[in-house]
Chain A
Amino acid sequence: MEIKAKGYLSPLSEEAKTSLWVYLKEWMCTTDAKRIGVLYLIFATFMAIWGGILSVIIRLELAQAGPDIITDAAFYNALPGMHATAMIFFFIIPAFTGVANFIVPIQIGAPDMAFPKLNLAAFWILPPAAILTFAGFFMNSLPEFGWTAYPPLSNSVYSPIWGADFWVVGLILVGVSSTLGAVNFLATVFNMRCKGMKMFQLPLFTWAMTVTSFLILAATPVLTSALLMLTFERMFPGVFYFFNPAGGGDPILYQHLFWFYSHPAVYIMILPGFGMVSEVIQVFSRKHIFGYVLMVWSMIAIAVLGFLVWAHHMFATGIALEIRVGFMFLTMLIAVPTGIKIFSWLATMWGGSIKFDTPMLFAAAFLAMFTIGGLSGVVVAAVPVDIQLHDTYYVVAHIHYVLVAGSLMTAFAGVYFWFPKMTGRFYNELLGKVHFWLTAIFINVTFFIQHWLGMKGMPRRYYDYDPAFELANLISSVGSVVLFLAQFIFIANMLWSWRKGKVAEDNAWKDGFTLEWQITSPPDHHNFHHEPYWKPLVRQHVGPDQPGGLWHRYDD
């Protein structure tokens, strides 16, 4: 086997040059954060395909009213939950972690993460967790309680199946993996910065990962505690009644604990994306970000507020009106820091000399489409409106505008952006643009009409529906199939370019000014040949090749 690539991609030992097996072993047992990052990305890609297949099955079933391709309604019932689990816990969050593993240590001028072995362990928890989570597929015992696993539906009376137990344990393991990752990122960012770099000089992607890690650290364990209680209730019926009212338990308690995690989790799924587009927009507008300090503080504000709004998912559970109004108010407040970020990105682009390469296209489209998701969020945050829209397709539309048009598009922006850095080669720009346009258009085809479906009253997670909704559902289904297929252009592009793409320079986009653009593409084993040194910022709207515009120095 011949391996052409340079740097960390090349075999580390003589043996690995001739034996594919040894080469693979070097990857799988590596403690190099960059390689672990790539492992995360590969894993996330597989999970995305898996989750994508499930979603296409759902959409095909819903293309027409009445049972079509799935004869077993119980099987259908399990699909939305399995799809969401795959996408949220095994695709988006690991994908961001993957990019961050690669980029964050470099951006702060560190040779690696603070705990390389822990890093590897955190990654290797994921595959077994995935197997457990989806074990129901092999055992014909799929949990049918959605990704939220609300009791009593998820207790041993209504879901007395093994698949459900495995699912719960799988989720606990994902939580362990991501908290270990967060511990590692925090120690890395706080303690491994190169000389001269202060916290308020961190690149925004690194900041985003820092804030995200705090969110994970404070939120994920609460989900773990809820799942632990659920497990015990399932394992020892008659002894534990945490959530089962039959024994004095409280099903709403579960929802509080669950959303205390899962609302912050939506920011775990979007803040890294915010960080990525911040980098992309700066480089492709050839301007430094507008309002850096405000950008950081609004991320922090989003994180803090994110912990105070969980009950907006529970407006329909009968909690007191005063409480609902309070949560409504706090929820709407989040639109303020979010708006600040949107306007900062726009102001960065304003007057810049913008290059519309694929990463920038994704970033720009993200701005437009995420705004739709944010607005529909404000709509459902209004208590009286939400009472109507809760558990309808409107919420499905909202989620997908923030998660697909938000997290997924930013992840694409980031992967295209750093691909030359990761592999030393450019992706194919034409294929990238085709991929972008198909994705951007068909996200809207798929999801926009779901707002209408929801407003007209189509419930989510249903197997069948009123024939009046047929045309809209058909449009959505066609959109989803094209959207799914378009992603193979991306995968083909990445695979082909990794071996055959145009060779990239160190500063692949010419205008990169953070540390990762100062070292070789792909980076060498320990990133830097000698310790980088960060000079205090000079924030001016000039290109890095003009005097006075440089942020720092790393002279190789």
Chain B
Amino acid sequence: MASQNASLAADSMVGEESLGVTNGKLGMWAFLVMDAMTFAGLLAGYARLRWTPGSDWPLPIEAFGFTGIQLTALNTFILICSSVSMVHVLAEQMRGNMERARKWMLFTIVGGLIFLGIQGFEWTHLIMDMWPYLFDEGYEAAYSVNFAATFFILTGFHGLHVSVGVIYNVIIYLGLRSGKITKDDTSVVEIAGLYWHFVDLVWILVFTFVYLI
């Protein structure tokens, strides 16, 4: 890289990045480590409560009613697709096809919104129909209430991440549209992509734990 050329004048080195990646990217990686640990804490809590003697955990297949696992599997698929379209944003931007990059960004945002919509639908169904004890003291849960508790905290915390991600992506989209993000600012898109892929990755973990096993 030219910037690492020792023959450059010393004064041009101000703000030089020692590792050759931008600060933003490094910062996002560090942030994601910390975020991963937050999820790890919640998942550890889940594991502890589930695999504890006498925990009376229901089979997820039976516990979700008509929204079932299938709907969420579809939702997982949608989230993965939006991750793929995020990759396209960057790829098109690097080729300089800003028009297409914008379109893919729109896809990504819509993917995130559909995910949130389906999750909202599922939550409503679960709260209103499946788990009456949430509202009514008279009802007894048919199984360990920790099933619902860990479900809410894990999917809820993840949903929060998706919401933040959608807002983040909208900001990027507006930047692309107004021309504030040019074809050379790939790192801005790359960093947003890191976040979005992380949200996707964590979902796969959450999905596996809460729904599949």
Cβ of A423 within 8 Å of any chain B Cβ, yes or no, is no
B48–A250 touching, CB < 8 Å? yes
B10–A531 touching, CB < 8 Å? yes
Say yes or no: A253-B11 contact (C-beta < 8 A), given A184-B27, A226-B41: no
Cβ of A249 within 8 Å of any chain B Cβ, yes or no, is yes
Interface string of A201-243 (1 = CB under 8 A from B): 0000000000000000111111111101100100000111110
Residues of chain B having any CB pair with chain A under 8 Å: 6, 10-19, 21-23, 26-27, 30-31, 33-35, 37-42, 44-45, 48-49, 52, 55-56, 133-134, 137, 144-146, 148-150, 152-153, 157
B42–A225 touching, CB < 8 Å? yes
Which of chain B's residues has its CB closest to A195's CB?
B13
Minimum CB–CB distance from B48 to chain A (whole Å) comes to 5
Bound Cα distance from A188 to B152, whole angstroms: 37
Bound Cα distance from A228 to B152, whole angstroms: 12
Minimum CB–CB distance from A321 to chain B (whole Å) comes to 18
Cβ contacts A to B, 21 pairs, < 8 Å: A191-B17, A192-B18, A193-B18, A194-B13, A195-B6, A195-B16, A222-B41, A222-B44, A224-B38, A225-B38, A228-B157, A229-B42, A229-B45, A229-B153, A232-B149, A239-B134, A241-B145, A250-B52, A253-B45, A530-B10, A531-B14
Minimum CB–CB distance from A221 to chain B (whole Å) comes to 4
Say yes or no: A247-B35 contact (C-beta < 8 A), given A191-B18, A192-B17, A256-B48: no
Which of chain B's residues has its CB closest to A194's CB?
B13
A253–B26 touching, CB < 8 Å? no
A contact residues around B31 at 8 Å (CB): 183
Bound Cα distance from A115 to B153, whole angstroms: 31
B146–A248 touching, CB < 8 Å? yes
B contact residues around A221 at 8 Å (CB): 34-35, 37-38, 40-41
Bound Cα distance from A229 to B48, whole angstroms: 13
The main secondary structure of chain A at its interface with chain B is helix
B contact residues around A111 at 8 Å (CB): 14-15
B146–A225 touching, CB < 8 Å? no
The main secondary structure of chain B at its interface with chain A is helix
Q: Which of A219, A220, A238: most chain B CB closer than 10 A?
A: A238
Minimum CB–CB distance from B184 to chain A (whole Å) comes to 20
How many A-B pairs have beta carbons closer than 8 Å: the answer is 141
In the complex, how many residues of chain A place their beta carbon closer than 8 angstroms to a beta carbon of chain B?
A: 48
B11–A531 touching, CB < 8 Å? yes
Cβ of A156 within 8 Å of any chain B Cβ, yes or no, is no
Cβ of A186 within 8 Å of any chain B Cβ, yes or no, is yes
Cβ of A124 within 8 Å of any chain B Cβ, yes or no, is no
B contact residues around A188 at 8 Å (CB): 23
B contact residues around A225 at 8 Å (CB): 38-42, 44-45
Which of chain B's residues has its CB closest to A531's CB?
B13
B21–A191 touching, CB < 8 Å? yes
Interface string of A246-265 (1 = CB under 8 A from B): 01111001001100100000
Q: Which 8 A-B pairs have the closest CB atoms?
A: A225-B41, A221-B38, A221-B37, A531-B13, A222-B41, A114-B23, A183-B30, A193-B18
Partner of B27, one of A114, A193, A226, A533: A114
B42–A220 touching, CB < 8 Å? no
Minimum CB–CB distance from A534 to chain B (whole Å) comes to 11
Minimum CB–CB distance from B46 to chain A (whole Å) comes to 9
A191–B48 touching, CB < 8 Å? no
Which of chain B's residues has its CB closest to A197's CB?
B18
A187–B26 touching, CB < 8 Å? yes
A contact residues around B17 at 8 Å (CB): 191-192
Minimum CB–CB distance from A67 to chain B (whole Å) comes to 40
B contact residues around A249 at 8 Å (CB): 49, 146
A247–B18 touching, CB < 8 Å? no
Bound Cα distance from A182 to B39, whole angstroms: 18
Bound Cα distance from A98 to B11, whole angstroms: 28
Bound Cα distance from A526 to B14, whole angstroms: 10
Minimum CB–CB distance from B195 to chain A (whole Å) comes to 13
Which of chain A's residues has its CB closest to B131's CB?
A239
Cβ of A46 within 8 Å of any chain B Cβ, yes or no, is no
Partner of B149, one of A241, A526, A531: A241
A contact residues around B26 at 8 Å (CB): 114, 186-187, 190-191
